[in-house]
Structure 1
Amino acid sequence: MRGCPFIDAAAEFPDPQNAVHSYARDQKLLMVRLVTDLVAELGCREPALLAEQLVTLADGAASRAMVLGESNYGRHARTAAGTHLENALRTTI
């Protein structure tokens, strides 16, 4: 696991006005919009909030896996995401 290429790009080009940084930001925003749409289709309450939590888990897992050289962080994030989804679905029923 080498982490997230968009985080790497944004770190290498920290000026928010730089085209590379801007592209990385756009990709991160696209991901949260896609996840928001998916959890909204499931009927989750507050889909935008849940999506932010889920993509934050993914980013954190990728970063920790890269820095610590451990592949288990994906599994940890998946377990946490499952808990978030169960809770979000439970509150909508």
Structure 2
Amino acid sequence: MKLDRRTRYGAAHKAVRRRLVDMYRPGQPCALCGEQMTDPARLLDLAHSASGTWLGLAHRKCNRGDAARIGNRTRVGKAVDPAPAPRTRW
């Protein structure tokens, strides 16, 4: 089931993020890259998988970079036409 933006980032998402931010302590690992997070909590995102499962707090650049890569792969897969047949010059 594909979640739309309102469902994915709605009240439940905000509540989970708020709860995780309240428990956040600098030095915790990023849910995506595993590196320590030292950013202020307001700059952290709640990462989720493509299926919508929440993974935990993540660096903003990790989360948004991951989302961009997934989106670009999806768009390329839909937008690219098969290679045209080679033309013969007469």
Q: So what's the TM-score if we normalise by structure 1?
A: 0.32
Q: Which has the larger share of helix?
A: 1
Q: So what's the TM-score if we normalise by structure 2?
A: 0.32
Q: Which has the larger share of strand?
A: 2
